[in-house]
Amino acid sequence: MGHRTSIGHDPSKFKRGRLGTESRTCRRLLYKVFMTLDRIELEADSETLWALAELCKRIQWEHMRQCAVDDDEAYRIRDGVEVLEKALKERGYSPR
């Protein structure tokens, strides 16, 4: 039987500025305060969840940027990977 993991997802089109860490922190706080987060449930066996955790750990910016049409989409992809990685870590799937 697989494990079920809930993952938050923010579908907003909030654009990223180029102001660095402080701006990123402010955006995340705004997401939490002003946006309603969607939740999805993921059901997979342990081996698959470990593989996803490894992917989150190993994926590089260049890979995300190649899959995106522009930098803004690449940043949203990176944010999604971070959300997935955090949810997996909370369930014990945190490769070294």
pLDDT tens sequence across 72-94: 999 999 999 999 999 999 999 99
Neighbour count for residue 58 (Cβ, 10 Å): 9
Work out the angle between the directed axes of helices 71-90 and 46-58 (0-180°, nearest 10): 140
Is the pTM here over 0.75, yes or no? no
Among 18-27, 51-60, 69-78, the minimum mean pLDDT is found in 18-27
Element (H, E) at 34: helix 21-34
